Amino acid sequence: MACPCRCVFRDRTKNSSKDDRAMANWVTFGRFLLLFVLLGIIYSGVPALQLVNAPLTVFIIALDGVDGWVARKYNEESLFGATFDIAIDRIVETVLWVVLAHLGFIGVWIPLLFIIRGNLVDAIRSKGAASGTAAFDMMQSPIGRFLVAGRFMRGFYAVLKAVAFAWILFWQPFPFLAPEFWANYGWFCVGVGTALAWASAAICIARGLPVIIEFCVNERPGAPTGRG
């Protein structure tokens, strides 16, 4: 007969391993908490403190790669983890676009575009998640896999948004910290920020269309079921 102590030990070890597998999700949740720290700094009204805007923004977005690395290294990849990661990504980018529009740094159409595109894509992906299919595994066409699921495009898109957010927020305190510099070169800083925001919006559309188009094609009456 097995020793009760050994059974208890095995149960505790099993529970401990389950807790360890949540490490990547804790990293993802940490990004969510840091977002509110960033918002507090942005709206603090303290120009010297707002110099932290850019590096903190980059750090929050860079953690998106860290949680993925942790998940792969410790074999924590799961449907929940992938869905949770995408949800936090969406929250971070949507909140930052809305904040930038609220502060007058970009047009309000940009956050509206991201919100509409995000809701459409998330609604489609929820159907795949219900059947056990991860978001990026839903893409079937080569162009869809490249734009939506491809590691290069995902990385490029993340870097582009990170640069856009960091660039715009970096200059937030300069009208107060360096008014003469801002009077002479502020137009250039604003112009670059606008260009980065527009480029991010263009990639947002380019990565959202394949998801919507493939869904409409696959769901049309008489369409073959299953992945091709």
pLDDT in tens, 155-175: 899 899 999 999 999 999 999
What's residue 8's pLDDT?
A: 39
Cβ 20 vs Cβ 74: under 8 Å: yes
pTM across the whole model? 0.78
- Segment (H or E) for 176: helix 174-177
Using a pLDDT cut of 70, give the percent of the chain over it.
76
**Separation CA 58–CA 216 (nearest Å):** 36
Alpha helices in 23-150 (DSSP H): 23-42, 53-73, 79-102, 109-130, 142-144
What's residue 22's pLDDT?
A: 79
Domain range 4-219, its CATH number among 1.10.150.120, 1.20.120.1760, 3.50.50.60, 1.10.10.10: 1.20.120.1760
The SS3 call for residue 220 is coil
